[in-house]
Amino acid sequence: MAAKTRAAPVDAVGCCSPVSAEMLGQRDAELLAAAFAALADPIRLRLLSCIASAEGDEVCACDLLEPSGRSQPTVSHHMKILVDAGLVEREKRGLWVWYRVAPARLAALRAALA
Amino acid sequence: MAAKTRAAPVDAVGCCSPVSAEMLGQRDAELLAAAFAALADPIRLRLLSCIASAEGDEVCACDLLEPSGRSQPTVSHHMKILVDAGLVEREKRGLWVWYRVAPARLAALRAALA
DNA sequence: CAACTACATCGACATTTGTCAATCTATACC
DNA sequence: GGTATAGATTGACAAATGTCGATGTAGTTG
């Protein structure tokens, strides 16, 4: 700690108040960052909003293609990212795949922004 | 809208319930995504947490170097991203730069996750 | 079993991102 | 003015990301 250079000759207002010991841990920061990264894409946000506002609280994957304006592989890729981030739940029923938002995960992210 | 293929011959459970008309707009999605992208990096999250937990609610840039473990240009780069995203406010006082979190912006992001 | 359908995975590519060394700019001290 | 310091900007580069066409896989229908 004391290794701080502090060579500044300026006595104006003074800098470098002791930095708080409370900082997000490395591991926690990585987990949080991964979650926010999943939200850091306009397409994924629109997909998420599409699911969140669906009646019955779930949406079939096929219904996500047209509104997103992206190819099927691209949408599948984005959905995988959302699912891996824990923001969306995936359930295969017969030939189709249905998605639901995971409210607990969203709440956790909200809490992290407090 | 009616252009939906709907060629599925399967009568099982039926897919493709009408997708809700309420979806995040393109422009809004881009703005939100940009904000989340600013949070999608462990270093930036730690910098933010460092500032948020500082006594006096502000931190000098020089105090962010050591805890972040990154070079001065890199920290400057990350802080610019946080400032541009509106998450942090920047104020130059004399030779130093002080940062404060912008609570309103954080609250707006929290609201977007509701 | 054969044909079909919904979705996932792969391969390739252009774009974006995080990083640092070197340099520049602005402010403060003498 | 000359020198020193805090922070920003530039240039370069490796790594990660978004995208699509082609192909693979699991389930359904006949």
How far is it, in rounded angstroms, from Cα A101 to Cα A88?
4
pLDDT digits (tens, 9 = 90+) for A29-87: 999 999 999 999 999 999 999 999 998 899 999 999 999 999 999 999 999 999 999 99
Asked if pLDDT for residue A6 goes beyond 60, the answer is: no
Nearest residue in A to B34, CA atom: A40
Report yes or no: B97 at the A interface, CB cutoff 8 Å: no
CA atom of B76 to C1′ atom of C24, Å: 14
Quote the pLDDT of residue B49.
Answer: 96
How far is it, in rounded angstroms, from Cα B83 to Cα B85?
5
CA B77 to chain centre: 15
b (16+ CB within 10 A) / e for A79-105 = bebbbebbbbeeeeeeebbbbbbbeeb
Quote the pLDDT of residue A23.
Answer: 83
Distance to chain A for B103, nearest Cα, Å: 9
Quote the pLDDT of residue A22.
Answer: 73
How far is it, in rounded angstroms, from Cα A87 to Cα A38?
8
In sequence order, the 6+-apart residues with CB closer than 8 A to the CB of A21 are none
Burial class (CB in 10 A: 0-12, 13-18, 19+), B102: middle
Quote the pLDDT of residue B55.
Answer: 87
- Comparing CA positions, the residue from B20, B63, B101 lying closest to residue A19 is B63
Measured CA distances, A90 to A4, A48, A86 (Å): 51, 13, 10
Quote the pLDDT of residue B20.
Answer: 61
Best of B24, B27, B43 to mutate (most A CBs within 10 Å, chain A): B24
Chunked into runs of 10 residues, chain B (114 residues) has average pLDDT values of 35 58 87 97 97 92 94 98 97 96 96 93
Neighbours of B89 (CB within 10 A): 15
